[in-house]
């Protein structure tokens, strides 16, 4: 209940480019490239501050769990009713049994307890997107990476 949204119509690329800019210092330390592609012109009604927070959380996790010299792609696609933002990494991946758990508050997979974090970022991201009538989907494969798909209504 602490999230007060102020939704305005704006191009989503502005949010994504700012998230990339904020994440680049962390990515540069691991020589991870971040590429943005797809539909850069779509206008969506969203809360700029909180949506930026949600995208940054997902992007920072992608960097955190991707090995050095990896890559991250952000693909933007306009669908019939939603704008889809895929954040695709080639990182360590998530166990199938934990796919739904990663969005729970304070959840962290056992294998990543040596990596800094408290398990709140994805929980917060999910809540921010859902408060805007959107949703997040996750596909992942151990050793190949993860795709977090953020859907925002058009």
pLDDT digit of tens for each residue in the chain (154 aa)?
567 889 999 999 999 999 999 999 999 999 999 999 999 999 999 999 999 999 999 999 999 989 999 999 999 999 999 999 999 999 988 888 877 877 776 555 556 545 565 557 888 999 999 999 999 999 999 999 999 999 999 9
Euclidean distance between CA atoms 106 and 120, whole angstroms? 5
Task: Give pLDDT, residue 129.
Answer: 96
Euclidean distance between CA atoms 137 and 42, whole angstroms? 20
Please work out, in degrees rounded to the nearest 5, the angle formed at the alpha carbon of residue 61 by the alpha carbons of 5 and 87. Answer: 75
Q: Is 39 helix (H, G, I), strand (E, B) or coil?
A: coil
pTM summary value? 0.89
Element (H, E) at 56: helix 48-64
Strands (E), the chain: 7-11, 33-38, 43-47, 71-78, 82-89, 135-141, 145-153
Task: Give pLDDT, residue 71.
Answer: 96
Euclidean distance between CA atoms 151 and 86, whole angstroms? 9
């Amino acid at each position: 209940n602490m999230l007060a949204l102020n939704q305005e119509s704006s191009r989503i690329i502005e949010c994504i480019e700012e998230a990339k800019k904020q994440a680049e210092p962390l990515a540069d330390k691991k020589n991870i490239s971040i590429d943005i592609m797809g539909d850069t012109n779509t206008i969506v009604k969203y809360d700029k501050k909180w949506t930026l927070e949600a995208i940054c959380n997902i992007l920072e996790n992608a960097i955190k769990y991707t090995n050095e010299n990896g890559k991250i792609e952000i693909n933007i696609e306009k669908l019939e009713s939603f704008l889809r933002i895929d954040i695709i990494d080639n990182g360590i991946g998530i166990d199938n049994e934990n796919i739904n758990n990663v969005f729970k508050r304070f959840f962290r997979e056992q294998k990543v307890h040596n990596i800094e974090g408290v398990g709140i970022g994805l929980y917060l991201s999910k809540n921010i997107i859902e408060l805007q009538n959107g949703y997040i989907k996750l596909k992942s494969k151990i050793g190949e990476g993860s795709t977090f798909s953020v859907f925002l209504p058009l």
